[in-house]
Amino acid sequence: MRSHQTHSSSAVSFIFFLFLLFSPFSFSTSKLEPVKRNPKRKQSVSAILIFGDSTVDPGNNNYIDTIFKSDFPPYGLDFKNKIPTGRFCNGRLATDFIASYLGVKENVPAYLDPNLGVNELITGVSFASAGSGYDPLTPTITNVLDIPTQLEYFKEYKRKLESKMGKERMEKHIEEALFVQFIQGLWKEGARKIVVVGLPPIGCLPIVITLFSGEALTNRRCIDRFSAVATNYNYLLQKELGLMQMSLAGSKILYLDVYNSLYEIIHDNHKFGFEEVSSGCCGSGYLETSFLCNPKSYVCPNTSAYVFFDSIHPSEKTYFHVFKSQRRIYDSIIEL
């Protein structure tokens, strides 16, 4: 496992895995309408385990030596108490809404947070790290937690869980958990309910439009050739998931379509109450993200009018609508 410099010497001792326990619950916020799940449905998932990049990192990068951080304003502008938790967003992420919907907790914390207690560990944390990806070169350059490292942390987490619950209960807990992201390594470690997220329409990201449109100030339309890459990738991914479903005995592998959800929001923005779709709320909205979106940056007066908060990452309201569009997936997992 790669070592990482932490802000606290005790942080490295907390090697946790995101999970989510399911119990009857409905959530609401002051800004977003409540979404309720049928409380009579069977609760068949013990935990949710999150791996990935900045779209699901609630603050792990706060505790490693990397420039890819967001633990400062204006990030967290609409989060509880306006705290910049390290989420690359003005508020909550889609995984926070999923956790609330499924009844575990309001928000999913970062597993590297040295202040987490045992109950927080059992009810849900995230291994995700902003700047990571499937290409091993990317996280090496940015010094973040790559996917293999996230898996290694999960293995260590299992040993910690076993010391608390015993081996038999731990294995049952993992078997009934919901995993979000990569597959084969998790299956070998006991995962059986896995959700894999596809790529978004990357040609619609403000930073992509800025860098590749050729007329960044006057032509802010999505760049189809980049989104086509995501479409082709998602098609191949779904075929591969089908094959994996047949080869990994006892598994249930589901695909989460964020491409069409975000595409609809961008191209039918007024239906969802958005005014700006091609630039972020922070700074000029064309390039700013991470340290370029900072306390000195201009911030739009109404974050809920923007699909993107910075030049890459969706706003809390966008994450909420993407979450809502995929509720049938979460419900189908509960009923397995």
Please pick, among 146, 313, 315, 321, the residue that the annotation labels catalytic. 313
| Structure tokens belonging to residue 287 | 């390039």
DSSP 136-181: THHHHHHT---HHHHHHHHHHHHHHHHHHH-HHHHHHHHHT-EEES
> What is the rounded distance in angstroms from the CA atom of residue 315 to the CA atom of residue 303?
7
Please pick, among 278, 310, 311, 321, the residue that the annotation labels catalytic. 310
Asked if 313 is an active-site residue, the reply is yes
Asked if 54 is an active-site residue, the reply is yes
- The residue with tokens 């309001």 is 106
Strand partners, 299: 282
> What is the rounded distance in angstroms from the CA atom of residue 150 to the CA atom of residue 148?
5
Residue 289's nearest CA partner among 135, 302, 297, 269 is 297
Residue 191's nearest CA partner among 205, 207, 172 is 172
| Structure tokens belonging to residue 171 | 């294995």
Residue 151's nearest CA partner among 55, 51, 241, 66 is 51
Please pick, among 4, 46, 53, 54, the residue that the annotation labels catalytic. 54
Contact (Cβ atoms closer than 8 angstroms) between residue 16 and residue 160: yes
> What is the rounded distance in angstroms from the CA atom of residue 168 to the CA atom of residue 184?
22
Amino acid at the residue 303: T
| Structure tokens belonging to residue 151 | 């898996």
Please write down the HEC assignment for all residues of 51-117.
CCCCCCCCCHHHHCCCCCCCCCCCCCCCCHHHCCCCCCCCCCCHHHHHHHHHCCCCCCCECCCCCCC
The set of catalytic residues is 54, 310, 313
